[in-house]
Amino acid sequence: MDDKKIAFESVGTAKEIARSAPEIKGVRTGVEGLDEMFFTTKLDENGEVLIKPLGGYPSGGVIHITGVPDTGKSLMAEQFLITQASEGINVCLVTVEQPAPFYVASLKQRAATLGVNWEKIEDRIVVIDAATNSDLRNELQVLFDTLAYGIKTYNVKATVVDSVTGLYEAKEMMARQTVRALYNFIKKWHQTSIFISQKRSGHEELTAEAAGGYGVGHIVDATIVVAKKEILSRYDQSLFGAEIGDLIRTIRIDGCRLSGHDTKTRVMEITKSGIVRVGPPLAEVVRKSGKK
Ligand SMILES: Nc1ncnc2c1ncn2[C@@H]1O[C@H](COP(=O)(O)OP(=O)(O)O)[C@@H](O)[C@H]1O
Ligand SMILES: [Mg+2]
């Protein structure tokens, strides 16, 4: 029949499609210990599995970082932007909650702490202020056109959205639809990307529910869950070898479909000067404190 609409461009053999599949490389995260949590596997001549660290986020991937407030999500985003910019890569930050001047002030401070010369990177960080402009938050098409302009004009290769939650505030039913559209847009522009999402404290801390809480985890390529736990009981005190009132921070890669990854929950540290670092597996810390 003549009125059939066939999407010819969407049909192809695996051979044809594989030709346009990009090779996955590591894009440095800027977070000590996190680069090694992503890896690829290969078989050696004896059929043994060899693990090769990727050395960063999988290139072209959309990485979702989720957690309750004050778990280091924005710091991780800042460390990524600064590290990439210091390697000569142009990056874009879409700030949805914090007005651009405040975010930039924080970036500048972070660069100083990381020992990165601000003058060398300030031209490489493109900022879109969706916190002060409500059209950018409420009309996805405006955000996409603006982002496309920014990416094209400045030859941007990596994009951070902090946070996607701010794009579906008060319309949570739209969460998946919004994130799906943003994901497709980012893929079209070949960006390695971080989507940050805010988790409400009601959501179970370390479960997949934590991954955005609204099924956002199914859309993105990888999800990282960051969490914090206050030591309030004698039991926790001896379990973690910490003091009452201490904060234990953790990080876990909840899933990644572009590469292999560490599946352990690890301890995470935020230094006094505001730098995120990944530490040993939580289980190791618990085992050690049990031996004391
Ligand atoms: N400049 C800084 N110096 C020291 N600690 C900081 C600094 N900025 C943030 N922090 C600490 O890191 C925590 C996490 O910050 P942030 O990444 O902004 O959290 P969120 O997950 O809400 O984005 C803060 O609660 C604070 O304790
Ligand atoms: Mg934040």
Quick check: CB of 74 below 6 Å from ligand 1? yes
Per-residue confidence (pLDDT) for residue 208, from 0 to 100: 46
pTM for the model: 0.93
Q: Rounded to the nearest 5°, which phi and psi values hold at 118?
A: -60, -40
Best CA proximity match to 80, nearest among 182, 175, 162, 158: 158
**Tokens standing for residue 231:** 């030591």
Domain hosting residue 143, numbered range: 24-225
CB 194 within 8 A of CB 160: yes
Residues measured by CB to lie within 5 Å of ligand 2, the ion: 74
The residue to mutate among 75, 80, 97, 197, having the most atoms of ligand 1 within 8 angstroms of its beta carbon, is 75
- Strand-pairing partners, residue 95, are 129, 162
pLDDT at residue 38, as a whole number: 97
What distance in angstroms lies between residue 247's CA and the mean position of ligand 2's atoms? 18
Q: How far is the CA of 73 from the centre of ligand 1 (A)?
A: 8
With respect to residue 268, please indicate whether it lies within any of the assigned structural domains: no
pLDDT at residue number 227: 95
Amino acid letter for position 212: G
Q: Which two tokens stand for residue 5?
A: 């609409």
pLDDT, residue 214, reads 60
Is residue 43 domain-resident?
Answer: yes
Question: Is any ligand 1 atom within 6 A of the Cβ of residue 102?
Answer: no
Instruction: Name the domain count of the chain.
Output: 1
Name every residue whose Cβ is closer than 8 Å to that of residue 264 and which is 6 or more positions away in sequence.
Answer: 252, 281, 282, 283
Kindly state if the Cβ of 72 falls inside 6 Å of ligand 1. Answer: yes
Do 280 and 240 form a contact (C-beta atoms < 8 A)? no
Q: Does the residue 290 lie in any domain?
A: no
Pick the ligand that lies closest to the CA of residue 69: 1
Q: Write down the pLDDT at residue 203.
A: 52
282 belongs to a structural domain:
no
The pLDDT score that the predictor gives to residue 205 is 55
CATH number at residue 117: 3.40.50.300
Residue found by looking up tokens 């540290």 in the block: 269
Residue 220 lies in a domain: yes
Token output for 38: 């992503």
Tell me, what's the pLDDT at 169?
86
Ligand 1 centroid to 123 CA: how many Å?
25
Specify the pLDDT at position 23.
86
Other beta carbons less than 10 A from residue 93's beta carbon = 26
Q: How many CA atoms lie within 13 A of 26 on its CB side?
A: 18
Which pLDDT tens digits describe the chain residue by residue (292 residues)?
578 999 998 899 999 888 888 889 999 999 999 999 999 988 889 989 889 999 999 999 999 999 999 999 999 999 999 999 999 999 999 999 999 999 999 999 999 999 999 999 999 999 999 999 999 999 999 999 999 999 999 999 999 999 999 999 888 888 899 999 999 999 999 999 999 998 876 555 555 454 445 678 889 999 999 999 999 999 999 999 999 999 999 999 999 999 999 999 999 999 999 999 999 999 999 998 877 6
Distance CA 37, CA 113 (A): 24
- Tell me whether residue 49 is in a domain: yes
C-alpha of residue 252 to centroid of ligand 1, in Å: 18
Given this model, what pLDDT does residue 201 score? 67
Whether 274 maps to a domain, the answer reads no
Omega before 86 within 30 of 0, i.e. cis: no
Burial environment of residue 155 by CB neighbours within 10 A (0 to 12, 13 to 18, 19 or more): exposed
**What one-character-per-residue DSSP string does 42-71 give?**
EE-TTSPEEEEE--SEETT-EEEEEESSSS
| Per-residue pLDDT tens over the stretch 166-198 | 999 888 888 899 999 999 999 999 999 999 998
Domain assignment present for 272: no
Chain position carrying tokens 């409500």? 134
From the alpha carbon of 196, which atom of ligand 1 is closest? 23
pLDDT given for residue 211 in this prediction:
44
Q: What secondary structure letter does DSSP report for 97?
A: S
